[in-house]
Structure 1
Amino acid sequence: MTNFIPIFPLGIVVYPGEQLNLHIFEPRYKQLIRECHEQKKPFGIPTVIDNNLQDMGSLVEIHEISKIYDNGEMDIRTVGSRVFRILEVIKEIPDKLYSGAIVNYPDNREQGNVEQMRKVMASIRELHQLLNLSKDFAKTDEQISAYDVAHHVGFSLQEEYELLGLLDERQRQEYLKRHLVKTLPMVSGMEQLKEKVKLNGHFKNLGGFDWKWKEV
């Protein structure tokens, strides 16, 4: 299946099933969100790495517009639905401030190896214990997928994107396992440093990019 979608390129990776809250403040994306919400249509979030638009992303559905500010800015709640691959970027669309893309949706095998995922989850819990973190994934190990935990294992943006490009759950599980096999010994050997490191989180306004499309 091939179709046209409006796109909102961001320097993040969104996975199918992921809930993503965004603050929309740029005029081009305020227009995109208004139109998609009114027409009950999804939009795409392709990943931008080093200011370059990548060819993979996730289709996103608007769950709700939580708040509209006096200046037209919005808080929205979305959920990722499926992985797409960009075939062609349409940078200029008549009467639109935003861009779009012709995309297709590659087959994505969702069935993984339950025993492999149990081992991955055991390693993730070990990692979080070493980091004094506590996370509730709200699913049993039998129900959880690689997408559910990919943001919680210390991947770089490039690694998160590489996992997005793996279209078989068994491959994604193996990618997680290899990362954890490499990461756990390093973390467990950093006891003295961990005492000095504080993990701080904050909300960000994610603006769009003046990205460049890499043609191949």
Structure 2
Amino acid sequence: MEKNLPLFPLNLVVYPLEDLNLHIFEERYQQLINECLENETTFGIPTFIDGKLPGFGTEVKITQLSKKYDDGRMDIKTIGLRAFRIIDFHNPVAPKLYSAGKVQLFKEPETQSMIMPGLLERVKKFYQLMYEDLNFNPEKIQPFSYQVAHKIGLTIEEEYMLLTMPTELERQAFLIQHLERIIPILTEVERTKERIRMNGHFKNLDPLDF
């Protein structure tokens, strides 16, 4: 499905069904958001990396205008709807101040998805090594891959790669591969920290039998 969307490029990855709070301060984006509020329409957030638009992003809708300032700035709450690929891009799109383009929309994400064997255990291990409390909910409607993607040490390039994947199975397999790479690194870092902590302490060493 193709659709024309006003576009708000950001140096981050937004996933479908993700909640995102935004502070709107530039005049061009104030114009964009005001029009979306007035017409009850959506807009797109394409990911901006290294000064470029690689081409994928997420359609979002405004769920709440939290605050409007006297100078026109706004605080808004949004939620991601579905991923897209840019087909045609104009910056700006006359006579507007903001950019816009034609996009190819992905299918809406699965609202209930299975978690691949081994993925949840690896995520829990990652949190354990990071000394962080688990702050995700496997029962949440958002697909599990999107729910944890910002929380397991992916680079923005890797987060973007995940967004381009059309199925939850592909995304979860990608996350398993990532965690298989990073968990041994974190484990070795933890062992190194423990050796550093033990340096200078009295040690009870077993005699060596040559």
The TM-score normalised by the length of structure 2 is 0.85
Question: How many angstroms does 1:89 deviate by?
Answer: 0.3
Q: Within 5 A, what are the aligned runs for 1:7-156?
A: 7-107=7-107, 110=110, 114=114, 116=116, 118-140=117-139, 144-156=143-155
CA distance in 2, matches of 1:70, 1:115: 47
Question: How many angstroms does 1:69 deviate by?
Answer: 1.3
**Deviations, residues 26-49 of structure 1 (Å, cap 9, x unaligned):** 000011011101111000000011
Code of the aligned partner of 1:159? E
CA distance in 2, matches of 1:115, 1:102: 33
Between structure 1 and structure 2, the one with the greater Rg is: 2
**Deviations, residues 70-90 of structure 1 (Å, cap 9, x unaligned):** 211111100000011100102
Seq. identity, %: 40
Change (3 A) 1:185 1:48: same
Question: How many angstroms does 1:136 deviate by?
Answer: 2.2
Code of the aligned partner of 1:163? L
Residues 113 and 170, structure 1, Cα contact 8 Å, conserved in 2: no
SS of residue in 1 equivalent to 2:53: strand
CA distance in 1, matches of 2:193, 2:108: 40
Change (3 A) 1:52 1:85: same
Question: How many angstroms does 1:15 deviate by?
Answer: 0.4
Structure 1 window deviating more from structure 2 (137-146 vs 82-91): it is 137-146
**Residue aligning to 1:210:** none
Residue-pair matches, total: 195
**Deviations, residues 3-55 of structure 1 (Å, cap 9, x unaligned):** 21000000100000000001111000011011101111000000011010121
**Deviations, residues 177-197 of structure 1 (Å, cap 9, x unaligned):** 00000000000111245999x
**Residue aligning to 2:174:** 175
Determine which structure has greater relative contact order: mean sequence separation of CA pairs < 8 Å that are 6+ residues apart, divided by chain length.
1
CA distance in 2, matches of 1:52, 1:194: 42
SS of residue in 2 equivalent to 1:31: helix
Question: How many angstroms does 1:92 deviate by?
Answer: 2.8
Code of the aligned partner of 1:35? E
The TM-score normalised by the length of structure 1 is 0.83
Instruction: Note the aligned Cα RMSD (angstroms).
Output: 2.4
Q: Which runs of 5+ in 2 are unaligned?
A: 197-210
